[in-house]
């Protein structure tokens, strides 16, 4: 059973950098899956931030691309998110998720395992 666990500071100052790590257990981050970050502002819907493959290939949401970096550490079986120049609008629960590929097409993807989420508040 794959498990994901987010960790990182729960409070970040405006203009600072949000840094989170997702530890993967019960499976290898080097498997044929992408690994993703999704966020949810309080009381609102889900927003995809980006994803990474174990090779280091990444895809980012254009709305955040200039501020986002997702990286992978295969030796620790984990991947990370950095979001720079944060404002109050970045306050959200941040989830990491596994992106399972269920057929040969590169579009056959679904978020099948999720972390429990971690609330990050941007405030001085």
Partner 1 sequence: DIQMTQSPSSLSASVGDRVTITCRASQSISSYLNWYQQKPGKAPKLLIYAASSLQSGVPSRFSGSGSGTDFTLTISSLQPEDFATYYCQQSYSTPRTFGQGTRLEIK
Which residues of this chain interact with partner 1, rule CB under 8 A? 36, 45-48, 51, 59-63, 95, 97, 102-103, 105, 107-112, 114-117
Give the nearer residue to partner 1 in terms of CB position, either 65 or 76: 65
Give the nearer residue to partner 1 in terms of CB position, either 43 or 75: 43
Cα–Cα dist 31/44, whole Å: 32
CA dihedral 114, 103, 108, 106 (to 10 degrees): 110
Query: Per DSSP, what are the bridge partners of residue 93?
Result: 40, 119
Helix (H, G, I), strand (E, B) or coil at 64: coil
Phi, psi of 90, rounded to the nearest 5 degrees? -90, 0
Shortest distance (Å) from residue 32 CB to partner 1? 15
Shortest distance (Å) from residue 118 CB to partner 1? 11
Question: Of 16, 30, 17, nearest to 83 (Cα)?
Answer: 17
Shortest distance (Å) from residue 124 CB to partner 1? 27
Give the nearer residue to partner 1 in terms of CB position, either 16 or 47: 47
Give the nearer residue to partner 1 in terms of CB position, either 16 or 54: 54
């Amino acid at each position: 059973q794959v498990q994901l666990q987010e960790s990182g500071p729960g409070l970040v100052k405006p203009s600072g950098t949000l840094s989170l790590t997702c530890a993967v257990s019960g499976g290898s981050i080097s498997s044929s899956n992408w690994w993703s970050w999704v966020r949810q502002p309080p009381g609102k819907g889900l927003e995809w931030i980006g994803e990474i493959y174990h090779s280091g290939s990444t895809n980012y949401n254009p709305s955040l691309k200039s501020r986002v970096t997702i990286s992978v550490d295969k030796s620790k079986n984990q991947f990370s998110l950095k979001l720079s120049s944060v404002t109050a609008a970045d306050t959200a629960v941040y989830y990491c998720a596994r992106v399972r590929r269920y057929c040969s097409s590169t579009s056959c993807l679904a978020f099948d395992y999720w972390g429990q989420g971690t609330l990050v508040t941007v405030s001085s």
